[in-house]
Amino acid sequence: MRIAGFWLSKNYAEERRRKFATTYSVSAVVIAVGIVTRDLYFSWGDFSDTVYTMCNVVTVVLVLLKFLVSLTYKKELIGLIQYAKTNFWHSNYDSYEQMIVDKCKQNIGKNDTDRILPFNLWLNNTIYNTTPYFEMQFVLEILSLYHVGVCYLCFDNILCIINLHTAGQFRILQYRFANMCNTNDLEKFHEVSEKSSYSMYKYRRLKTYIQQHQMLIGYCKSLEHVFNLIVFWQVSLFSLLICLDGYLALTSGIPFTRRLVFTIHMMGSIYQLLMFTYSCDTLIRDSSNVGIAVYGSLWSLLPMDKYGKMLRRDMILVILRSKTPCCLTASGFFIVSLETYTKILSTAVSYFTLLKNSSDM
């Protein structure tokens, strides 16, 4: 995220460095888009080369879309990271709560005639294959490729990290709700008036946990506001990307090294999609389990006085609210979960079958 230009600046000099990194990242990605688009133009007409180039185009365009969306919601994104840093990663926890937080943290030169650039610029080779033009093109492409790789992963990684830590906060909240009505200290309250004070004490604890629950719900809404477009493009283009990788990996007549590259890229894409959808699914499950933890507490043993009745009534509201889990959506079209993962793989197989039949005709 620092390489891409997204971090919390502490002073004016660091803010200037951050702006320079952001500007440089945008420029590098835009140059990469121009290179692969030009490559697609000159490859058009050859089916195999066009499919090969489309994989590069889809990857780079996806990076550009992620970067532009994150740039649009830059303040909100940095605010989410700052909030998580203050309230999730550095907070006061007991031994069990710290265990939950710790568990979330477990993610030679050639001559002029055979010089080859990583990506074809389709320029006059007799001129641009000589020094220093070749070196200038090579450095330009490598710098662009480096930032494409960084930006391709960093936004997904920060989303997964935040999702897992937010889900961890929901598990901590479950633990606190489940132990809220523990009556081990009830023996200290013998008289009726003292038992009333005991109920009031438990009700105040409940209000604190409800406020934490509301805070987490609001945080998830902010997360959805910042990342819903990124999630939409991620889900929309991954099935196409996996399909193209699979086609190039299994089509005969393609060099072994290129086939190996796309096999590894397809496996990496499948793994990245699994990591992405799993973190979203974890958020759904842990936020909905809050109601189960509330109901499983020892609320029935509390006195039926004024505060005892108020406590039971508010617990019912928490249970009802937890039936609508916190989640991330693809720009509001559908909820992202592990079920989405299976649907994307199924769609990719359908695209692959259609593409394979078209090429065989």
DSSP string covering 30-96: HHHHHHHHHHHHHHTT-HHHHHHHHHHHHHHHHHHHHHHHHHHTHHHHHHHHHHHIIIIISS---HH
- For 104, the domain range is 12-360
Can you tell me the distance from the alpha carbon of 21 to that of 143, in angstroms, rounded to the nearest whole number?
13
Does residue 281 sit within a domain? yes
Does residue 248 sit within a domain? yes
Which residue, 278, 83, 70, is CA-closest to 169? 83
Q: What is the model's pTM?
A: 0.74
Does residue 1 sit within a domain? no
Q: Tens of pLDDT along the chain (361 residues)?
A: 777 887 777 788 888 888 888 888 888 888 888 888 888 887 887 777 777 788 778 888 888 888 888 888 888 888 888 888 888 887 788 888 888 888 877 764 444 455 666 666 666 666 666 666 677 777 777 777 777 777 777 888 888 999 999 999 999 999 988 888 776 655 554 444 455 677 788 888 888 999 999 999 999 999 999 888 888 888 888 888 888 888 878 777 777 887 888 888 888 888 888 888 999 999 999 999 999 998 888 777 777 888 878 888 888 999 999 999 999 998 888 899 999 888 888 888 887 787 777 666 6
Tokens of 355: 């593409």
- In the chain, the amino acid numbered 357 is N
- In the chain, the amino acid numbered 79 is G
Does residue 5 sit within a domain? no
Length of the chain: 361
Can you tell me the distance from the alpha carbon of 329 to that of 82, in angstroms, rounded to the nearest whole number?
23
Does residue 20 sit within a domain? yes
Quote the DSSP letter at residue 347.
H
Does residue 214 sit within a domain? yes
| Dihedral-angle region of residue 128 (phi above 0 means left; psi in -120 to 50 means alpha; beta otherwise) | alpha
The end-to-end CA distance of the chain, in Å, is 46
Does residue 2 sit within a domain? no
311 neighbors 302 (Cβ within 8 angstroms): yes
**Contacts for 303 with CB less than 8 Å, ≥ 6 apart:** 195, 196, 198, 199
Does residue 3 sit within a domain? no
Number of domains in the chain: 1
